[in-house]
Amino acid sequence: MHIIVVGLNYRSSPVEVRERFAFTDAEMEAGIARLVGTQQVREAVIVSTCNRTEVYAVVDALKPGLDTIHAYLAEHSGLAQGAFLTHLYEYEGEQAVRHLFRVTAGLDSMVLGETQILGQVRSGFLFSQEQGKTGRLFNNLFRRAVTVAKRAHSETKIGENAVSVSYAAVELAKKIFESLDHKTVLVIGAGKMSELTAKHLNANGATKVIVCNRTYERAKELADKFNGKALDMNSLDLALKEADIVVSSTGAEGYVVTKAHVQATMKKRRHRPLFLIDIAVPRDLDPAMGDLDNVFLYDIDDLEGVIRVNMEERAKEAEKVGVIIGEELVAFRQWMNAQEASPLIQGLRQKALGMQADLMQNLNNKVQNLSDKEIHTVNKLTMALVNQLIHKPITEIKDMATEDDAVVYLEAFKRLFGLEEEAASNRPADGKDKPKQQADKPKQPAEQGNPSVVAVQAQMEQTRQEEASAGARPAELFGRYGTH
């Protein structure tokens, strides 16, 4: 089994190609069903946003799996494979897992560290899970991916610094006012940009909004959105006196507010700090007013400067996120290996029990006239022997499967106990020609198709057996608990 990802994003492909790969919900449902319907793909999740489309899949074999996905993508997009294959990136195994972790943590996004992508990945996964098109592997993997993103945002500052103009304005405002609660925002010029900035300031606590505009109607319209007050330009002085934060973006040619203007108001407002943002070009606010004490004036370039510095900060934080991703990768690898171990353990158990059953058969054939009680005793003793013999290897391999060299250990385990041929052949044949002992596990062959059900079954079976043998040797109970 392999985890693979096939995708394209804003870096690998132009928008003309990307738009062909967008998915609606219905298309996604059909797509996942199509993929998992093929023999190649066991689990599938499609993540589709405006910047990327990615298909995550668990496939049995690499090449046929990739071919299936390519064929499906060609069908979906209506493009010939040759037309888009060069735009795709493909990762397999640990690289695919790393890629998923990077994507959810926002490291692969256009705006480094953004959080939207987390929601998008999660909903893509949940969508597929609802359709029953994910299994044990992806359920664990995507849960982990969400953990990575959450850790990245709580343990580092990757998402902390503002990277848009309106957020940068809020960030600056918060360096002058500890809290924006009860602060008054004055919006001069009811444009789109000032509305957005006012909206962010408003959301951060500045509930009082005054809108000043050349035409009163437009001012009123915008003010109503914030439950604010609308004024026309003649009342600007009045508004300045009340305001703590000024956002200006008019289309005026000259300065709307001059230094003398502000100087006069500062006295009236008892020198409370005044924070002004000028997002208009040409500028509305006379830059000379910045010299006044307690007056803090910033224009659009200054805000861009804040964003530039913040981007650098995020890039620095991204390195710390890389460390988190590394840790989670190791944890996932350990989990994967532990998953590899369980079929081996089951194989060993079956093999051992099979031998014991054969032996009982032999005994029955060779020695006649044994009483039921004698047979029962021999059966019980040989069972105990078998269980004791395989107990230690089983507990050990569970531990070793989580260690660094797990792959080697698992391979060695396979060879030592001669499990190779079984591992290959036992799934389809399993349970058919096994003697009596296997009779009490009749469900196994029926559940073949669904690996996770088999695993759960095996797990339950295993616990049952362990409990049974533990009953015989209660002293070892604790030892075993420690290894779970």
Partner 1 sequence: MVGNLFLYDGMTFLYAIVVVLYFLDFISHKHTLNRIAFSLLAVVWGLQSTFFITRMTEVGYLPLLTTFETTLFFSWLLITFSLVINYFYKIDLFAFFTNLIGFAMVAVDLFLGEGASRLAAHMQGDLLVLHISLAFLSYAAFSISFIFSIMYLIQSKLLKEKRWNNTFRRLPALDKLDAFTFRLIIVGFPLLLTAMILGANWYYIQFGNVLIWDAKPVVSVILLFCYVVWIYLRLSAGWSGRKLAWWNVISFGLVIINYFFVGQFFSGFHPW
Under the rule (CB under 8 A), what is the footprint of partner 1?
172, 174-178, 267, 270-273, 290, 293-294, 296, 298, 302, 305-306, 309-310, 313
In terms of Cβ atoms closer than 10 Å to its own Cβ (0-12, 13-18, 19+), residue 134 is buried
What gap in Å lies between CA 410 and CA 404, rounded to an integer? Answer: 11
Which CB sits closer to partner 1, 270 or 484?
Answer: 270
Please choose, from the candidates 334, 330, 325, the residue with its C-alpha nearest in 3D space to the C-alpha of residue 149.
325
- Closest C-alpha to 210, from 186, 237, 234: 186
Q: How far is the CB of 308 from partner 1 (least distance, A)?
A: 9
Residue 71 · residue 8 · CB < 8 Å: no
Q: How far is the CB of 201 from partner 1 (least distance, A)?
A: 15
Least CB distance to partner 1 at residue 314 (A):
13
**For residues 185 and 348, which CB has a smaller minimum distance to partner 1 in the complex?**
185
- The angle that helices 300-366 and 451-472 make with each other, rounded to 10 degrees, is 60
- The secondary element (H helix, E strand) that includes residue 439 is none
Instruction: Specify the 3-state DSSP secondary structure of 449.
Output: coil
Rounded Cα–Cα distance for residues 50 and 48 (Å): 7
Amino acid letter at 33? A
**49 versus 310: smaller Cβ distance to partner 1:** 310
Q: Which is nearer to partner 1, 232 or 313 (CB)?
A: 313
Comparison of 271 and 380: residue with beta carbon closer to partner 1: 271
Tell how far CA 275 is from the center of its chain.
Answer: 39
Minimum CB distance to partner 1 smaller for 72 or for 275: 275
Q: Least distance to partner 1 from the beta carbon of 272, Å?
A: 7
Q: What angle do CA 338, 92, 10 make, to 5 degrees?
A: 130
Which residue, 178 or 372, has its beta carbon nearer to partner 1?
Answer: 178
CB of 175 to partner 1, least distance (A): 5
Which residues form the catalytic set? 50
Taking the complex as a whole, the smallest distance from the CB of residue 290 to partner 1 amounts, in Å, to: 7
CA angle 64, 66, 69 (to 5 degrees): 110
Cβ within 8 Å of residue 182, ≥6 positions away? 205, 206, 207, 208
Least distance to partner 1 from the beta carbon of 264, Å? Answer: 14
Q: How far is the CB of 403 from partner 1 (least distance, A)?
A: 29
Residues facing residue 248 across a β-bridge = 188, 278
Integer CA distances (angstroms), 135 to 132, 382, 418, 447, 448, in order: 8, 38, 29, 14, 14
Q: Which residues of 294-316 are buried (b: 16+ CB within 10 A; e: fewer)?
A: ebbbbbbebbeebbeebeebbee
Q: Which is nearer to partner 1, 36 or 306 (CB)?
A: 306
Could you tell me whether strands 52-59 and 41-48 are parallel, antiparallel, or unpaired per DSSP bridges? antiparallel
275 in Cβ contact with 170 (< 8 Å): no
Residue 400: name the closest of 467, 446, 334, 348 by CA. 334
Cβ 273 to partner 1 shortest distance, Å = 6
In terms of CB distance, is 160 or 396 closer to partner 1? 160
DSSP E strand stretches across 15-109: 41-48, 52-59, 89-92
Q: Which residues pair with 7 in a beta bridge?
A: 54, 89
